[in-house]
């Protein structure tokens, strides 16, 4: 089986887009990833008269958050999720109902075929969508100051430690940081968070941006149903994606009429009539 391809992240600096690449990637690859900064989206949070409608059930949480920075970042991230999904599904963002599973993972109520993942660090926000299976995204500052020996003790497999030891010294920490983001993305895709032992699985590079999942001893762990990729974004961050193909048929048409759960669609039509 050919390895699943994770879409390259697209920068969307404002709610107006550009969004065309999102629908193209979701249709062609089965997944899409976007990134931006919360400061770029802040003007929309502050000026849109539709903010309450756009946030929906998250409005109360937004209003109750006392710290202004935290409050605005929360709103910007939720707008990014809704506008990204709206671009893929061909529906106004305020029509989407964002809900949360145990552990806080967001999902779109009524859209059972769409999986979501959100990650943020510093000023950066990233959202991943998939119509073929699980997806996880993770972002970290590329220049993050980390101790290599600590990563080796806590998250790297013996095979990864041996591989890093063979690299030039200047490349060791950056490569370890890349492995860390891949493990975080995979853990998020599985919905495991910190419960998944990072020393129990590892990665090896596959091409300039790709990676393959391996067992702790370095042997291959998948047959291609998972795809992994890491990209530098905005010159100072790493963005890693883990995307899965569950092998289920999904139509290439990603419009709302196709992707929306039929029972939910019927309920919407009845309420509108």
**Rounded to 5°, angle at Cα 43 from 37 and 48:** 125
Report pLDDT digits (tens) over 43-74: 999 999 999 999 999 999 999 999 999 999 99
Q: In this predicted model, which residue has the larger pLDDT, 270 or 168? A: 168
Q: Where are the domains of the chain?
A: 10-133, 140-244
Share of the chain above pLDDT 70, in %: 89
For residue 29 the two structure tokens come to 């690859």
Distance of CA 69 to the CA centre of its chain: 22
Task: Please give the CATH topology (third level) of the domain spanning 10-133.
Answer: Ribosomal Protein L22; Chain A (3.90.470)
Q: Residue 271: its pLDDT value, please?
A: 42
**Contact (CB, 8 A) for 178 and 144:** no
| DSSP states along 166-187 | TS-HHHHHHHHHHHHHHHHHHH
For the chain, the first-to-last Cα distance in angstroms comes to 47
pLDDT in tens, 177-234: 999 999 999 999 998 765 678 999 999 988 888 999 999 888 888 888 999 999 999 9
Global confidence as pTM: 0.88
Q: Characterise 178 by phi-psi region: left (phi > 0), alpha (psi -120 to 50), beta (else).
A: alpha
CA 25 to chain centre: 14
* Burial track 134-165 (b if 16+ CB lie within 10 A, e otherwise): bbbbbbbebebeeebeebbeebbbebbbebbe
Burial 43-69 (b: 16+ CB within 10 A, else e): ebbeeeeebeebbbebeeebeeeeeee
Does domain 140-244 fall under CATH 3.30.70.360? My reply is no
Same fold, 10-133 and 140-244: yes
Q: Evaluate if residue 15 carries a pLDDT over 90.
A: yes
């Amino acid at each position: 089986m050919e390895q699943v391809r994770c879409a390259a992240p697209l920068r969307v600096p404002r709610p107006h887009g550009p969004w065309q690449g999102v629908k193209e990637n979701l249709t062609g690859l089965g997944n899409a990833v976007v990134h931006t900064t919360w400061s770029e989206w802040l003007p929309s949070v502050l000026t849109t008269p539709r903010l309450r409608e756009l946030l929906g059930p998250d409005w109360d949480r937004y209003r109750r958050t006392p710290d202004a920075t935290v409050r605005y970042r929360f709103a910007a991230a939720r707008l990014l999720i809704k506008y990204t999904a709206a671009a893929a599904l061909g529906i106004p963002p305020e029509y989407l109902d964002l809900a949360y599973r145990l552990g806080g993972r967001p999902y779109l109520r009524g859209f059972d075929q769409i999986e979501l993942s959100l990650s943020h660090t510093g000023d950066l926000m990233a959202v991943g969508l998939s119509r073929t299976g699980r997806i996880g995204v993770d972002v970290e500052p590329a220049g993050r100051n980390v101790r290599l020996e600590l990563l080796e003790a806590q998250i790297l497999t013996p095979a990864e430690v041996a591989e890093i030891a063979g690299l030039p010294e200047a490349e060791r920490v950056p490569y370890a940081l890349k492995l860390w983001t891949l493990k975080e993305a995979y853990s998020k895709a599985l919905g495991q968070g910190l419960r998944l032992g990072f020393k129990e699985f590892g990665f090896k590079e596959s091409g300039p941006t790709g990676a393959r999942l391996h067992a702790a001893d370095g042997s291959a762990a998948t047959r291609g149903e998972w795809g992994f990729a890491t990209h530098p974004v905005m010159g100072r961050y790493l963005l890693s994606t883990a995307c899965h193909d569950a092998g289920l048929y999904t139509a290439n048409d990603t419009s709302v009429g196709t992707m929306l759960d039929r029972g939910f669609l019927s309920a919407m039509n009845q309420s509108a009539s």
